[in-house]
Amino acid sequence: MAKNSLRTRARPRRRVPAGLIVGTVCLGLAAGACSSTPAATQTSHGNTVLTMWSTLSASDAQTWAKMIANFNQANNDKGLHMQIKMTTIANNYTTKLTAAVATGNAPNFGWGTAGQEALWAKQGVIIPLNKLAVQAGFNLSDFNPASLKDAEYPAIGGNNFYLLPMDSSSFAMEINVAEAKAAGLNPADPPKNGPEFIKWLQALTVRKNGQITRSGLVSDTTGLATTYWGIVAAQYGFQRVSPDLKTACINRQAGITAMNWLLSLFDKYKVISRNISAPYTTFDTGAGAIMWEGPWTILGNIQAKLNWESAPLPTIGTQPATFFEDDGLEVYKQANQASYLTTMKAIKWLSDHSFLWTTGGRGVSPRKSILNMPNYMTAGFAPKYRQAFITSMSFADVASVPTLSTADFEYYSLGTFAVNEVSAVLEHKLSPTAFMTAVCTKWQSDLNTDSSQG
């Protein structure tokens, strides 16, 4: 029917299909809208412009922004004749950065965490910094050797470090001073061992109608709880991997003991509520009296007008240990390799001037010269906030495992393998023994695979 009706209509002989015009215009507009991405290293008014991607978004971002502003002021048409253009990447940093490198549009440098980027080191996304650091004028003996070591990836060979450490952040104990005093405790004499710690938690926990309304210790059942377990396990002598990254789970019994200890806080002593979904808010509002956390919480606690102090973690096990991470700056692969030395010089300036960063931003300086500055301990945040994070570095040895499957070994995260397994134990779906068997089997499998791919 349709064909017959079409045949009977008069039609013009020539007509350019309007749809074709529209389609062509659309494609043309789309093609024209794509502009070439400028190269990472540019020049502007006699300055070399470097691009940096930053993942910092919380309170430490404010201090880092000041660092960049100071750099730009000091080197605008003088000094290094450089400027840094910083972009904050709020999420999906890994994917964005990898895609940028793959397309040749990576920034010059950015933030990284030591031990978590073995795959990037293997793929050449981040470049080794040993020679560049020396060429840029760094005195590597000024660095804490452990910090530089953390930035190496023995799994892929070589003694190169891939990150210039800027700060070392350990876990310390944060105590609500008002609640401690109200409970008859002395914040100036914090608990130093397991029994003392339990006494403190029991005194600080408040219950109503059988429900915990104030937890003695703030914890979730995911990343934070896993970190607690990891710290205490290390204190009992557990190691996730051997130093040569070939054997998983050294001293399994220590891991089981630590898990039983953690479970006892929930089930036997009932000093942790299982309903905490926002640990920072719980602590800042006084719904939790003690929290084990890192120095990135300092500014947030202050801004919440909390009356609190920090103290070193108690030794629950047989030796002191705590979680830490080394964060720093890494240089990304560029088409123009001549830019690497320029970038490294900029990083050196930032490192040399990182007093502000490690007193008012985050962490402890990995550089002896900065640590030894006369006012290092008293500048920035008050000693009652910072001191414990500094002294804790002397026994901080629970860090990321620098292997290709590092995500499976991560404690202080969400949704990783270890965290999921710990959650299952805390939900009573897995026994501590079965938990150790599961994690150790998986970790050993990961190490075997990584070893074959290294």
Partner 1 sequence: MVALPALAQRRLARTELRQAGEGYSFALPFLLPFLVFTILPLAFGVLVSFTNWSIIGAPQWVGLHNYISALSNPLVRQAFLNTLRYVVLVVPVVTLLGLVFALYVNQRWPGHLFARVSFYASNVVSAPVIGLVWVWMLDAQFGIINHYLHTSIPWLTSTNWSWIGVSIATVWWDTGLIFVLFLAGLQEINGEILEAAKIDGAGPWRSLRRIVLPLLRRTFVLAITLEMISTFQIFSQVNVMTAGGPANSSASAMQYLYSAGIGQLQLGYASAIGVMLFVLTVIGTMIFRLLFRDKRW
Interaction of residue 95 with partner 1, rule CB under 8 A: yes
Please enumerate in sequence order all residues whose Cβ is within 8 A of that of 254, keeping only pairs 6 or more positions apart, or say none.
233, 236, 237, 238, 317
Tell me 405's DSSP state: T
Under rule CB under 8 A, residue 123 binds partner 1: yes
Q: Which is nearer to partner 1, 1 or 18 (CB)?
A: 18
* Residue owning tokens 């104990």: 173
Q: Out of 182, 188, 278, 382, which residue is the one contacting partner 1 (CB under 8 A)? A: 278
Least separation in angstroms between residue 407's CB and partner 1 is: 5
| Between 281 and 431, CB nearer to partner 1 | 281
Instruction: Say how far residue 341 (Cα) sits from the centre of its chain.
Output: 26
Residue 92 in the binding site for partner 1 (CB under 8 A): yes
Nearest to 262 by CA among 211, 222, 307, 303: 222
Bridge partners, residue 329, by sequence: 111, 164
Distance CA 74, CA 197 (A): 49
**Nearest approach, Cβ of residue 275 and partner 1 (Å):** 3
Of residues 302, 316, 450, the one with CA closest to residue 385: 302
59-74 helix and 339-352 helix, angle to the nearest 10 degrees? 110
Distance CA 243, CA 348 (A): 30
Q: Which residue of 78, 199, 207, 429 would you call a contact of partner 1, by CB under 8 A?
A: 429
Residue selected from 341, 377, 407, 434 as contacting partner 1 according to rule CB under 8 A: 407
Told to check if 74 binds partner 1 by CB under 8 A, we report: no
Q: How many amino acids of this chain bind partner 1 (CB under 8 A)?
A: 48
Interface pick for partner 1 out of 20, 33, 90, 338 (rule CB under 8 A): 20
Stretch that binds partner 1, among 97-105, 198-206, 254-262, 387-395 (CB under 8 A): 97-105
> Does residue 206 contact residue 212 with C-beta atoms inside 8 Å?
yes
| 343 is a site residue for partner 1 (CB under 8 A) | no
Cα gap 402→323, rounded to integer Å: 15
Pick the closer one to partner 1 by CB: 265 or 426. Answer: 426
By CB under 8 A, tell whether 392 contacts partner 1.
no
Tell me: does residue 55 bind partner 1 (CB under 8 A).
Answer: no
Q: Which residues pair with 309 in a beta bridge?
A: 175
* Alpha carbon 379 to its chain's center: 24
- Strands 206-208 and 164-170, by their bridges, are unpaired
Nearest distance in Å: CB 25, partner 1? 9
Residue 18 in the binding site for partner 1 (CB under 8 A): yes
Q: Which residues are at the interface with partner 1 (CB under 8 A)?
A: 3, 6-7, 11, 15, 17-20, 22-23, 26-27, 92, 94-95, 98-99, 101-102, 119, 123-125, 211, 220-222, 273-278, 281-282, 287, 407, 414-415, 419-421, 423-424, 426-427, 429
